[in-house]
Amino acid sequence: MFDLSGAYRVQNKHFYQQYYGFEHKNTDWLSQAVYGLAEWNADQISQAQLIAVPGCYPTVSQLSLKPLVEAGLLDSTHWPVINATSGVSGAGRKASLTNSFCEVSLQPYGVFTHRHQPEIATHLGIDVIFTPHLGNFARGILATITCKLKQGVTENEVRQAFETAYQDQPLVRMYDKGLPALKAVVGTAFCDIGLAQQGEHLIIVGAEDNLLKGAAAQAVQCMNIRFGFAPTETLI
């Protein structure tokens, strides 16, 4: 089973009462669910009976930060700050005044309360500050992440962490120079990541299509892994 609802992404039943407004009744399945961040959890996905496909913001945020976390390069006294803007499709299909054509602007929402913040923090294993924004465009997410590195961490070490993580992951494209733009990823299954470093300060920019890499395409990627196909089958 491949679940895109969000009901199995965090293995803590109290999380769902606080952030989703319901009491989780299927705790047995919840304890068995595997988090479907495809580039990082392929071994578990290949054996899973229930795969919880990550949310759109958590996908781009974790792909952008996890290499640094795993390599131990972040200063743990400074929480990474994630500012991410999604197209209006990220707000769902339900009609509302806020999402109507004449009203959509660029504005933050869910400040300190968005359900994706604890999902990101839980699976990264670190605290983060996450502020989502709704943009006046149809689809895509651009995340700008500011973080502080441990003293003495070099640009080469940062690059090496990302290269080690993604050199064999064709759906994550690292930029050698420059930073990603939405036009390069909308309509594709890619997540593009670029870096800018000044001393101990690092800015990461990640971009994805929220409806594809942030949802349906990642579900297909997980399905491919689960049933022994190439992860990119039908996606590129």
153, 76 Cβ separation under 8 angstroms: no
The answer on 220 and 111 residing in a single domain is no
What pLDDT is stored for residue 23 in this prediction?
A: 86
Question: Tell me, what CATH number does 7's domain have?
Answer: 3.40.50.720
Residues 6+ apart with CB under 8 A from 37: 54, 58, 59, 62, 63, 66, 123
Angstrom distances, CA of residue 10 to CA of 31, 49, 114, 118, 213 = 9, 16, 14, 9, 20
pLDDT surpasses 70 at 9:
yes
102 carries an active-site annotation:
no
Longest dimension (CA), the chain: 50
Find the helix or strand (DSSP H, E) in which 51 lies. Answer: strand 51-52
Instruction: Provide the domain limits for residue 84.
Output: 56-212
pLDDT surpasses 70 at 92:
no
- Rounded to an integer, the average pLDDT of 159-163 is 98
17, 27 Cβ separation under 8 angstroms: no
Is residue 102 very low, low, confident or very high in pLDDT (cuts 50, 70, 90)?
A: low
Would residue 87 count as lying in a domain?
A: yes
- For 26, phi then psi, to 5°, come to -105, 60
Would residue 94 count as lying in a domain?
A: yes
The answer on 109 and 36 residing in a single domain is no
87, 137 Cβ separation under 8 angstroms: yes
What pLDDT is stored for residue 27 in this prediction?
A: 86
The answer on 172 and 66 residing in a single domain is yes
pLDDT in tens, 166-211: 999 999 999 999 999 999 999 999 999 999 999 999 999 999 999 9
pLDDT in tens, 17-64: 888 888 888 888 999 999 999 999 999 999 999 999 999 999 999 999
The answer on 101 and 9 residing in a single domain is no
Would residue 234 count as lying in a domain?
A: no
Q: Where are the beta strands (DSSP E) in 55-214?
A: 81-86, 107-108, 129-134, 141-148, 172-174, 191-198, 201-208
Q: Record the pTM.
A: 0.94
Could you count the other beta carbons within 10 Å of the beta carbon of residue 98? 13
Q: Pick the catalytic residue: 56, 147, 191, 222?
A: 56
Question: Token pair of 106, please?
Answer: 């660029």
Burial class (CB in 10 A: 0-12, 13-18, 19+), 137: middle
Cα–Cα dist 65/69, whole Å: 6
